[in-house]
Chains A and B, each alone.
Chain A
Amino acid sequence: MKFRFLENVAIADIAFEAYGKTFDEAIENAGTALTEVMADPKKLASTEKKKIAVYGKTEQDLLYNFLEELVYIKDVDGILFKKFNSKISQGKLEVFCKGGKIKGAQGLRNDVKAITMHMFGIKNEKGKIIATVVVDI
C-alpha cells in the first residue's frame, strides 16, 4: 500500500498516511496522496514537468516544505502532479514531478488550502517509513 486515508482523524479536513521502504519512496507516495485529495490522478495529463527543490534541517522539514510547494504550484501555476521521483542529499530534497494542468481536467476533488502541523511527522517503524499528514480543506 502506497498510502491510506485516515477516516476519523480530521473531521473537517483530510488526513493520510503515506508509506515507503525508503524516505524517498514515502515522500513520493505522500505527493501522490496529496494529489489524490485534489483530483483523480488517472484523469490528469502528464504534459507538465517540473523539478522541485526544497531545503530543511530534518526529514520532516523536507517533507513539509515539499508538500507545501505542491499546494503553492497548484494555486499559482494551476498544475497538479501525479508522478514523482525524488532524490535526497544532505538537507536538500529534489523531486522530479510530472502532471497536468488543472484547467479543463476531469475528476477534480477537494481544494487543499494548506498542510497543517497537526500530527505531522515521518517515522521509521521497523524498517517501514510512515509519513502522517493532515491537510486543511
Chain B
Amino acid sequence: MNTKMKIEPVSKNVWQIPQTEKKGMNAPARIYATPNLLGAMDEGVFDQVTNMACLPGIVKYSIACPDAHWGYGFCVGGVAAFDAKDGVISPGGIGFDINCVAAGTKILGAFGYFKKIEEFENAKNENLISVELATNKIKHASPILFLEKPVSEILKITTGCGEELLLTQDHPLFDGTEMRKAAKFKEGDKIAIHPFDGVAYEKASEKCIIGEQDIVRVVGLRKKLLNELRKNGLLPLTENSEKLPILAKLAGFLTGDGWIGHHYNRKRKQDIWSARVIGKYEDLMDVAVDFKKLGYVTNYIKTKKYESSVESASGKKRSISGHSTQLYLNSQSLSVLLHALGVPKGNKSKTPTKVPQWIKESPKWIKRLYLAGLFGAELTKPAQRKGETHRFLEPCFSQNKITSLANENLNFMLDIIKLLHGFGVEVNNIYEQEGIINSHGQKTKKLAIRLSGKDENLIKLWGTIGFEYCKQRKIASMAALGYLKSKKHHIGKIDGFLKQAQSLILTKSTTKREVVNSATELGISKSMVSARLSQKPMATRAGSGFPTFAEFCKSANAGNSEIIIDKIEKIEKIPYNDSVYDLTMNDDDHNFIANCIVSHNCGMRIISTNLGYDEVRPKIKQLVDNLFVKVPAGVGVKGTISLKRNQVLDVMQTGANWCVENGYAWQEDIEHIEEHGKIAGADPENVSEKAIGRSMNQLGTLGSGNHYLEVQVIRAENIYDRKIASGFGVHDDKQVMIMVHCGSRGTGHQIATDYLKEFGPIMEKYKLEVKDRELACAPFNSEEGQKYYSAMACAANNAFANRQVITHNVREVFSQVFRKTPEEMEMNLIYDVAHNIAKVEKHIVDGKSKKLVVHRKGSTRSFGPGHEELASVFKKTGQPVIVGGSMETGSYVCVGTQKAMLETFGSTMHGSGRTMSRTRAKGLVKGEELQKEMEKKGIYVKTATYAGLAEEAGIAYKDISEVVRTMDEIGISKRVFSLKPVGNVKG
C-alpha cells in the first residue's frame, strides 16, 4: 500500500480512512476498490481524499472511485458533497451571482396563486408566471434551484403603482427592454410590472372529487372510457391532483363558451360524447395546450362562416353573421368527465347551470380558476363610459335561460355572488331582462349581475380573480388594474399629505392657507383640501392633474401585453437582518414575478450507428483520417467554426441548445444530454474576458492529453444486460459506435484559474483553511461562491456545446464516407455525461432530503431508475454511465443505480485511471512503435503528436474491466456493454 494511513474495511471492496487519521478531517474518507486496485493506488489518492474530507461542510464522507489517481486539489475519481447552506464550492473540486429578494416576497404561480419566496425550498418544478423578455408576453417557467443567504442591508423599491419589493443590490430587474441590476436603477426609471396580485396558496386536500361511480352515473359502466380516465391519472380525481387546477379553469370556461353533447350510435349501441369550445383562435390554442396536459389531443380548430337570426322576446328579428372559431374535442372520456365536473350539456339555455359543489368546497385559488375561466367567457371586459376618463364601467355577467329555469338561473347567480364575496368583490344588483328566443323557439330570460364599479372593488376583481383563456380580457384588465393601482397609490399619498397637514395645523406649525397653497403646487384639488381641513366629509380624489386611463396606457405601454411599464418612485437602502432568497428558473429568460415586479434570476458522449463493423472496416483509414481533419486535435488548434463575442456568451448560457438553434444538433439530441445540455444559472458576467477569448476559436476541437474520439465496435459476448443495452440503442453484434472524450477546452480551465486566484485571498475573510492551495474554496452561499458557480455553469455549457459540434462534424464525416445521411445511419446520441463538475442536487442524508453541492472530479453521475432529474427515456433504467478506457483496451457503458443514490451521492468512476505518469510512460513507450503495434491489433490511430500517443499507452492505465467490475459488484453502477476501439483520433 502506498500510504501509512490506517485503512479499515467497510464491506467487500469498500474501505474507509477514519476521521482521526489526519488533523482537520471533518468526515471519514471512503475508497471503492478491490484489494488489488487499492494496492496500486498512488500515494496522492490517500492524501487528497483525506484533504477533501477536511473541507468545511462536507457531508457523510469524501469518496475515491476505483479509477482514482492523483489530481490537483481533488484526486481524479473523487467525489465530495457539501451542504448547500453551510458548505463550500471549490474549483479544485471540478468548476452564480446570488441576487435575492427578501423573505415574504410574493411569487406568482401559473395558477394565479402566490407563495412566499421562502416557501419554494421544497416546491421545485412548480409552474410560475414568467415574462418572455423579447416580447413582454407571459409564459410559464419552473424554479430549479432555491438559494438562501443572510444579508445586513437591502434595497426597497417602490413603484408608481404602489408595488414594493425588498431586494439585494445585485438582483436584476426588468425595465421593459433589458434586465439590469437593482443598484443601477434610479428614481424615475422605467420598471416592468405584472399588476395581478393573485390569492394565497392553500394546500388542497386528498378528498375525492370524481370517483368511478360518478362517471358510471353519467354514462353507465363503460370500461374503455373508465380505463382511459385512469390511464391519464384522472380517475379517481382528488382535490390535490395536479390536473385539477386545469380542470377547474376548463370547467369555468366551458360553462360559459363550451358545448358538451352526445348522440346515440346504433352500430356501437351507445352514446357518443364530444365537446366543443368557442373562442378566438389564440385562446383556443391555450385550451388545446391544457387538454394536452390532461393527456388528450384536440381534434381540430376550425373557423366557419355563419349566418343566423336571433329573435328577441318582442318578436324583433336580427340577423347576425360573421366568423366563428371552434375547437373540436372528440374524446368521449374527457367530455364525460367535464360534464361530471359540472359543465352543463346540450343547449345551455334549456339546461340549468350550477356552481359545482366541489368548487364551493375547494381552496380559494381553485375557486379563482373556475371563476376566471367563467369570466374569460362571460364577464364584460374593462370599459369606460364616454367622457368618464378616470373610472370604469360596472362589469356585467349574464346568463340566458328559458323561462321555466328562471329560479335555477337565479340560484346560479346567487352562488356566483357568494363566490365573489369570498374575494371581497361586491355586487351592485341583479337584474332581469327579456331574453332572445332560443333555437327551439322558446322564450328566454336574461339574468345579469352588475358588479360594483368602485376602484377598490375592481382592484380586487381584476387583481385577485381576473380572466383565464381570454387574452384580450386579460390584457385589458391588467392595463386597467395598473391604472387603478397607480390612482390608489396617488390618493394614498394625498391622504398622507392631509393627515400630516392636519397635525401640523393642530400644533400650529403651519396654517390652513399655507397647506392649501402647497396642495395647489402639488396638483391636489384646492376645494377638496379646504373641505377636508374644515372637517367636511369628502372622499379624496386624485385630482384633475392625474392622468386619464388613455394617457396612462400610452405612457405605460399598457394594453399590448399583461406587462405594464411603471416608474420607480423611490429607492431606499434599509437595514435588514434576515435571509434573502432567489429562484433559478429552467428557462432562458430567467425571471419570475415577485410582488408584481418582473425580476431575474470534461465529459464523454457516445453516438450509435446502424453500421456493422464489416461495412466500416474497409473504410476505417479514410474515416479516421477525415475525422482527424474535421475534429481538430492537439496544441493550439482552431475549431471549424469561430464565434463572435456575443455568440460565445450565448453558448455559455444555452449550452447544447445553441447547437440546436444553429443547426449543429438534432432536437432529439438534447434529451440525451445530462441536464438537457444546459446547466441553469450560467452568467457570463462572472466570466473573465480571457476565458471568453479562449472560447472564440475552440468550439468543436478535441484538445489533447487523454482526450480522444474513437470508433468502437460492440461484440455480442460483451453485452451484459441485453434489455437495457437494447434501450440504449444496441441491437446487433459488431455494431459500430463513436465515443468522444473532451471538455470545455481552454475556457473551463481559465475560469477555474481565475477563481482559484480570487478564492486564495478571500479564504481568510471566511475563516477557511485548506490543506492544498488547489482546494481554495468559498462558502457556496457567499457572493464569491455563487459567482464561481455561475461561471462554472458557463464552462459546463461550453463543454456540452463543444461535444455537440464535434458530434455534428462526426455525422458529416460518416455521411461523406458512407454516402448515406446520418439519419439513414441512425447516428443517434445515446448519452452525454459531464465528469468534472459541481452540481446542486438533493440527496438523502440521515433519512432527510438535503440540498448538496456535489463535486465530481473525474467521476460520472450515476443516477438510478426513477430519478426525477432523468429524461423520460432513462426513467425506467437509470442513466447511461460512459466509462472511457485507454485507447488500447476499450470502454464500457454502465447504468446508474439506486445504491449509488444511497452511498455515493449518485456517482461512480469515469474511466480506468492512470497508474503511470506521462513522463514515465513516454520513457517506456515510443509513439511510432505503439501506432504500428495497435494497427496490428486492428486499431487505426491518427495522432497529433507521437509523444502524446506514447503517454496514453495502455500500460499507463489500470485494468478497466477490474475497475468497472468493482463498482458493478458493489452495485454502484451496473455493466451494460463494453466496446473495443477500431479507430482513434488522438489529441
User: Could you list which residues of chain A lie within 8 angstroms of chain B, going by C-beta atoms?
Assistant: 5-15, 38-39, 64, 68, 71-72, 74-76, 78, 80, 102-103, 108-111, 113-118, 120, 134, 136-137
Contact = CB atoms under 8 A, between A and B. Distances in A.
Interface in B747-805: 748-750, 752-753, 756-757, 760, 772-774, 776
24 contacts: A5-B919, A7-B919, A11-B916, A12-B70, A13-B72, A39-B635, A68-B753, A75-B697, A75-B698, A75-B745, A102-B635, A108-B636, A108-B945, A110-B918, A110-B948, A111-B634, A111-B635, A113-B745, A114-B749, A114-B752, A118-B772, A136-B749, A137-B704, A137-B706
A17 to B, nearest CB: 12
Given A76-B693, A118-B774, A108 B944 contact: yes
A78 B42 contact: no
A117 B635 contact: no
Given A72-B690, A110-B704, A111-B703, A11 B749 contact: no
A113 B703 contact: yes
Given A7-B919, A11-B44, 7 more contacts: A11-B69, A11-B915, A12-B706, A75-B697, A111-B987, A115-B753, A116-B774
3 smallest A-B Cβ distances: which pairs? A114-B749, A111-B704, A118-B72
B694 interface: yes
A133 to B, nearest CB: 11
A72 B948 CA distance: 21
B70 A109 contact: no
Size range of the interface on B? 35 or more
Contact of B746 (A11, A75, A137): A75
Given A74-B636, A78-B638, A137-B918, A110 B705 contact: yes
B944 A6 contact: no
A117 B773 contact: yes
Q: Select the residue from B72, B636, B753, B917 with max chain A CB neighbours within 10 A.
A: B636
B749 A10 contact: no
Contact of A72 (B694, B698, B772): B694
A12 B71 contact: yes
A58 to B, nearest CB: 11
A49 to B, nearest CB: 18
Contact of B749 (A6, A8, A109, A113): A113
A110 to B, nearest CB: 5
Contact of B636 (A5, A80, A116): A80
Nearest to A108: B635
Contacts of A7: 917, 919-920, 923
A74 B917 CA distance: 24
Interface in B696-720: 696-698, 703-706
Interface in B955-987: 987
B466 interface: no
B951 interface: yes
B694 A11 contact: no
B70 A108 contact: no
A64 to B, nearest CB: 8
B76 interface: yes
Given A76-B693, A78-B638, A114-B752, A9 B73 contact: no
A127 B72 CA distance: 29
Given A11-B42, A76-B693, A118 B73 contact: yes
B947 interface: yes
Nearest to B745: A113
Contacts of B705: 12, 110-111, 113, 137
Contacts of B948: 109-110
A103 B632 CA distance: 12
B914 interface: yes
Given A111-B705, A113-B745, A10 B70 contact: yes
Interface string B422-453: 00000000000000000000000000000000
B947 A109 contact: yes
A5 B773 CA distance: 22
A32 B72 CA distance: 23
Contacts of B916: 11
A118 B51 CA distance: 13
Contacts of A75: 636, 693-694, 697-698, 745-746
B634 A108 contact: yes
Contact of B918 (A12, A111, A113): A12
B762 to A, nearest CB: 15
A13 B654 CA distance: 31
Contacts of A9: 917
A39 B947 CA distance: 10
Given A12-B706, A72-B690, A72-B693, A110 B920 contact: no
A110 B951 contact: yes
Contacts of A80: 635-636
Nearest to B751: A114
B750 A114 contact: yes
A8 B753 CA distance: 24
A8 B756 CA distance: 25
B753 A38 contact: no
A20 B750 CA distance: 28
Nearest to B45: A11
Contacts of A64: 757
Contacts of B944: 108
B635 A110 contact: yes
B694 A76 contact: yes
A7 B920 CA distance: 6
Contacts of B750: 72, 114
B636 A102 contact: yes
A28 B705 CA distance: 25
B636 A111 contact: yes
B639 to A, nearest CB: 11
A64 B776 CA distance: 16
A117 B914 contact: no
Nearest to B704: A111
A73 B545 CA distance: 63
A68 B691 CA distance: 12
Contacts of A102: 635-637
Interface in B626-678: 634-638
A11 B952 CA distance: 11
Contacts of B698: 75
A136 B752 CA distance: 11
Interface string B70-112: 1111001000000000000000000000000000000000000
A113 B635 CA distance: 10
B301 to A, nearest CB: 54
B756 A117 contact: yes
A8 B920 contact: yes
Given A8-B917, A102-B635, A134 B704 contact: no
Contact of B914 (A5, A11, A71): A11
B749 A12 contact: no
Q: Select the residue from A74, A113, A137 with max chain B CB neighbours within 10 A.
A: A113
A57 to B, nearest CB: 10
Contacts of B753: 68, 114-115
A64 B919 CA distance: 22
A126 B693 CA distance: 42
A113 B695 CA distance: 12
A16 to B, nearest CB: 9
B325 to A, nearest CB: 57
A65 to B, nearest CB: 9
Nearest to A111: B704
Contacts of B920: 7-8
B745 A74 contact: no
Nearest to A102: B636
A8 B917 CA distance: 6
B72 A136 contact: yes
A13 to B, nearest CB: 7
A77 to B, nearest CB: 9
A38 B694 contact: no
B924 to A, nearest CB: 11
Contacts of B760: 117
A115 B945 CA distance: 21
A6 B919 contact: yes
B828 to A, nearest CB: 30
